[in-house]
Amino acid sequence: MTQLSTGLTVEERAALATAYSAALAYRSNVSHHPARPSVGLDEAVARFRLPLSDHGEQAPQVITEITAAAEGALHAMTAPGFFGYVLGGSHPVGVAADALVSAWGQNAGSSTETPAITGMERTLCDWLVELFGLPEGTGAGLVTGASAANFSAVLAARHALLAAQGWDVEQDGLIGAPAIPVLIGADAHSAVTAALRYSGLGAGRAQRVATDEQGRIDPADFADKLARCEAPPLVILQAGQINTGAFDPFEALISQVHDRGGWVHVDGAFGLWATAVPELAHLCAGVARADSWAVDLHKGLSAPFDAGVVLVRDRAMLVAAMSARGAYLPAQNAEWEPSDSTPELSRRARGVPSYAILRHLGRSGVAELILRHHRLARRIATAVAAEPGLTVLNDVVFNQVAICCGDGPEGDRLTEAVLKQVQAQARVYPSHGAWRGRQIIRVSVSGYATRAEHADLVAEEIISAWRGVREG
């Protein structure tokens, strides 16, 4: 009888062990690295752009050489001094679980083939519904991030709104379909307009509702534009504006949309996490009455990347829009079939790292983490605003601080110079942005490891760069 080989070869085992030590070394030292890559793009590309070898290379050597070539060209996004964009920080417990995800190699698209993954991912989704205070029975799909979550929710809304008008969009497409009016805030994230483009609803056809100085939808303009909708609309609200962290007034808006038979989706990429914190939950008052929500686990929870969730109150609408069943697939589980609620069929078990992080943190750990981000953002804003010539443009209600220097066009030049200097010093890393006609330094607090000393450091770096630029 033929003897099948099992397990790993010596070479493969050595490759895994090499990667494990490299990962451990990287994460142990990342806070001592410069906060941004010291190697430029051209050099980094040149390091990797080798001719494809004819006969391959030894596995451990490949891992060793990749690690060496990446040196200096990685961005310290997991370091506690990283304040750019809104990226979380890849919590080590999630990274550990992520290593298992790759090792297990489960195709998580089918529940019956991968029961352990279904057990974890289904529990994760139930926990999230509970944490966010959403209605019991809310359907969930684990997707790559908030862009994919917004897109998936818009497809569910498109299905529901057209079905209510007697149109089967999955069968008959959009050509000749009744129009769906769409309302979004003037300061909606680009992921929302992308979702409208991908779904065939058209970014340019959406009505943009006026917003206030924080980026919140103006209720009067909203009521006016809603009254002019000729059919039940899709309305997309926002929990957490990318520059200011502001939240739309959900309580006041959602019932008006429902009175007109419309669908409310909430882009809560990072802001929906406020619902998990008693001290901040007021920011999201009324949000649970929406029809769908998009949220990132790689933001609030610091899950390793590729971790977003689409949540839909009426799960059947999500399934109708997403389900992609093939006759060759095993019998399906009607209550929980991963590929029924995401655009993908085959996929990695992306929920496992978040499941592990939630088990590790527990309810109080999550609340402490999100509240800490908020308190540190306020601490940074207070320090920066005390410096003459520096202005914090937003009310720091959550984790975003929008800072500008001086006034007018000359101020914009100074702001850019200060940001460039802070980034070049590479002790901390805030990123750029633009708000209400001004260039800004955008400080976003979202890393799992960020503490008061890092918040103080980013404020000091901005203040000292400002003093230098102003005098220089």
Ligand X SMILES: Cc1ncc(COP(=O)(O)O)c(C=O)c1O
Cα radius of gyration rounded to whole Å, the chain: 24
Q: Is 236 in the site for ligand X (CB under 6 A)?
A: no
- For ligand X, the closer of residues 146 and 403 by Cβ is 146
The nearest distance, CB 85 to ligand X, in angstroms, is 6
**What are the residues whose beta carbons fall under 8 Å from the beta carbon of 283, sequence distance 6 or more?**
239, 247, 271, 274, 397, 398
For the chain, the straight-line distance linking the first and the last C-alpha, in angstroms and rounded, comes to 81
The nearest distance, CB 160 to ligand X, in angstroms, is 22
- For ligand X, the closer of residues 111 and 446 by Cβ is 446
Residue nearest to ligand X (CB): 145
Question: Residues 311, 312, 316, 317: is their CA dihedral positive or negative?
Answer: negative
* Best CA proximity match to 354, nearest among 96, 105, 27, 87: 96
C-alpha pair distances (Å), 415 with each of 302, 403, 406, 442 = 29, 8, 8, 11
Range 34-93, binding ligand X (CB under 6 A): 86
At 120 the three-state DSSP class reads helix
Amino acid identity for residue 90 in this structure: S
- For ligand X, the closer of residues 37 and 240 by Cβ is 240
Of the candidate residues 132, 270, 273, 429, the single one contacting ligand X (CB under 6 A): 270
**Which DSSP helix (H) or strand (E) runs through 304?**
none
Eight-class DSSP state of 326: -
**Would you list the DSSP string of 223-284?**
HHHHHT-SSPPEEEEEBS-TTT--B--HHHHHHHHHHTT-EEEEE-TTGGGGGG-TTTGGGG
The nearest distance, CB 240 to ligand X, in angstroms, is 5
Range 160-199, binding ligand X (CB under 6 A): 189, 191
- For ligand X, the closer of residues 98 and 337 by Cβ is 98
- For ligand X, the closer of residues 169 and 440 by Cβ is 440
Contact 66, 414 (CB under 8 A): no
The nearest distance, CB 145 to ligand X, in angstroms, is 3
- For ligand X, the closer of residues 188 and 465 by Cβ is 188
The nearest distance, CB 270 to ligand X, in angstroms, is 6
- For ligand X, the closer of residues 151 and 167 by Cβ is 151
Distance CA 472, CA 131 (A): 50
Q: Is 374 in the site for ligand X (CB under 6 A)?
A: no
Place of tokens 């410069």: 34
Of the candidate residues 77, 253, 269, 381, the single one contacting ligand X (CB under 6 A): 269
- For ligand X, the closer of residues 191 and 284 by Cβ is 191
Q: Is 287 in the site for ligand X (CB under 6 A)?
A: no
The nearest distance, CB 288 to ligand X, in angstroms, is 18
Of the candidate residues 308, 338, 406, 430, the single one contacting ligand X (CB under 6 A): 308
Range 105-164, binding ligand X (CB under 6 A): 145-147
The nearest distance, CB 404 to ligand X, in angstroms, is 20
The nearest distance, CB 246 to ligand X, in angstroms, is 11
The bridge status of strand 234-238 relative to strand 263-267 is parallel
**Which DSSP helix (H) or strand (E) runs through 432?**
strand 429-435
Distance CA 166, CA 184 (A): 25
Q: Is 377 in the site for ligand X (CB under 6 A)?
A: no
Helix 59-70 with 10-29: angle, nearest 10 deg: 20
- For ligand X, the closer of residues 270 and 466 by Cβ is 270
How far does Cα 19 stand from its chain's mean position? Answer: 27
Q: Is 246 in the site for ligand X (CB under 6 A)?
A: no
Distance CA 147, CA 137 (A): 23
Choose the stretch contacting ligand X; rule: CB under 6 A; options: 66-74, 103-111, 267-275, 410-418: 267-275
Q: What angle do CA 362, 77, 83 make, to 5 degrees?
A: 85
- For ligand X, the closer of residues 377 and 405 by Cβ is 377
Choose the stretch contacting ligand X; rule: CB under 6 A; options: 263-271, 355-363, 368-376, 446-454: 263-271
Choose the stretch contacting ligand X; rule: CB under 6 A; options: 28-36, 45-53, 262-270, 401-409: 262-270
- For ligand X, the closer of residues 221 and 296 by Cβ is 296
Q: Is 300 in the site for ligand X (CB under 6 A)?
A: no
458 token code pair: 């980013």
Range 203-232, binding ligand X (CB under 6 A): none
Length of the chain (residues): 472
Judged by CB under 6 A, how many residues of this single chain contact ligand X?
13
**Which DSSP helix (H) or strand (E) runs through 407?**
none
Binding site for ligand X (CB under 6 A): 86, 145-147, 189, 191, 240, 242, 267, 269-270, 296, 308
